[in-house]
Amino acid sequence: MTHYFDPEPATPSEPRHYDLDFDGRHFLIHSDRGVFSHRRLDDGSRLLLEAVTADLRADGIHEGELLDLGCGVGVLGIVLKRVFPGFALTLSDVNARALELTRTNLEENGIRYATVLASDGWEALADRRFDIIVTNPPIRAGKSTVLRLLDGAADHLSPAGRLYLVIGKKQGAPSYARHLETRYSAVDRIARRQGFAVYRCQKGEST
């Protein structure tokens, strides 16, 4: 069985696209089988976008280095880059089909400057530091994989950087939150809806 976290999905291609409206902006998203949430934007990712946008605006953060970790077809990074053009955007994923769609979606939605990297977790990001990391982690890849991503984020944040993630209660959100508290100096749940929770994790001083 092919999963969206496989490097080379064996699922036959079946290209599709969907419309996405967010924050008064319209996006056209190209998708396919073998990638995460390929028919529409999933509820967890939408909540994550809403929470991150509100949180950054409240704190007056409009620029810096932004990473969409495990980007899928690039929706999180593309939307945030359009809302906050001052961010320098990097998107990474292990799935080759997802990365090709990410490149298509960047062009389709008018994002001219972004870095797209094939990376198994932090493999291709060893020397990079980011001010903002956003992720809807691949829960189905297993807890050890998810923890590797979340723990590694602490080593790839700038001193005042922030990790934002969304996890469902049924996917173990409380357990993950307790673990995050052992790795970050501040872990706050900043949004909750329909069984999903969004957490903001900081390892140092808030901005």
Average pLDDT, the chain: 92
Long-range Cβ pairs for the range 137-145 (8 Å, 24+)? 137/70, 137/165, 137/167, 138/4, 138/5, 138/36, 138/70, 139/167, 139/168, 139/171, 139/172, 140/3, 140/4, 140/5, 141/3, 141/5, 143/172, 145/5, 145/121
pLDDT at 7: 55
How confident is the model at residue 149, as a pLDDT?
A: 95
Domain span at 63: 16-202
CB atoms within 10 A of CB 129: 14
Mean pLDDT, residues 118-122 taken together: 93
What tens digit of pLDDT does each residue of 57-107 get? 999 999 999 999 999 999 999 999 999 999 999 999 999 999 999 999 999
Give CA–CA dist 94/100, Å, rounded: 11
DSSP conformation letters of 160-207: EEEEEEEEEGGGTHHHHHHHHTTT-SEEEEEEEETTEEEEEEESS---
Whether residue 3 is contained in a domain is answered as no
How many independent structural domains does the chain possess?
Answer: 1
Q: Is residue 10 situated within a structural domain?
A: no
CATH number of the domain encompassing residue 140: 3.40.50.150
Least Cα distance to 164 among 59, 9, 94 occurs for 59
For residue 2, is it within any domain? Answer: no
Average pLDDT over residues 11-21: 91
In a domain, 74, yes or no: yes
